[in-house]
Amino acid sequence: MANAASPAEPHYGGYTRFELELEFVQCLGNPAYLNHLATQKLLDNPDFIAYLNYLQYFSQPKYARYLTYPGPTLRALELLQQEQFRRDILMPGVVHRMMEEWLNTTTGDRP
């Protein structure tokens, strides 16, 4: 019986595809990183948008349990599906508001 990390599963730099995708998805919870992706024009690339759509599988409970901060991470993944948000994340005010929300979510403080 093969397990999830079987030797037959390809590794990239010593990591499985799932591990790499998990790390990337967790980065999406950082508004500054989203802004960086937008400034690099990645959020204008249809192939990249399709990849973000593919990563929606992390919203399933069996995968979401691996996320350190599932709330902000899954919210960002959801927002990235919207063309308007992909434009808005270029604005410093949007990034700032998201950072405040993220800090409140991760520290347990509420406004």
Tens-place pLDDT, residues 22-73: 999 999 999 999 999 999 999 999 999 999 999 999 999 999 999 999 999 9
- Asked if the structure places residue 2 within a domain, the reply is no
Report pLDDT digits (tens) over 93-102. 999 999 888 7
> pLDDT band for position 109 (50/70/90)?
very low
Q: Can you give the CATH number for the domain in which 75 is found?
A: 1.10.10.1340
- Asked if the structure places residue 7 within a domain, the reply is no
pTM value?
0.81
- Asked if the structure places residue 45 within a domain, the reply is yes
Do the beta carbons of residue 104 and residue 94 sit within 8 Å?
A: no
Domain count, the chain: 1
Tokens linked to 87: 């434009």
- Asked if the structure places residue 54 within a domain, the reply is yes
Q: Which domain holds residue 34?
A: 14-107
Do the beta carbons of residue 101 and residue 72 sit within 8 Å?
A: yes
- Asked if the structure places residue 9 within a domain, the reply is no
Q: What is the DSSP letter of 57?
A: G
Using CA atoms in the order 35, 19, 16, 5, what is the torsion angle rounded to 10 degrees? -170
- Asked if the structure places residue 102 within a domain, the reply is yes
- Asked if the structure places residue 4 within a domain, the reply is no
Tokens linked to 74: 């899954």
Residues 6+ positions from 35 with CB-CB distance below 8 Å: 89, 90, 95
- Asked if the structure places residue 6 within a domain, the reply is no
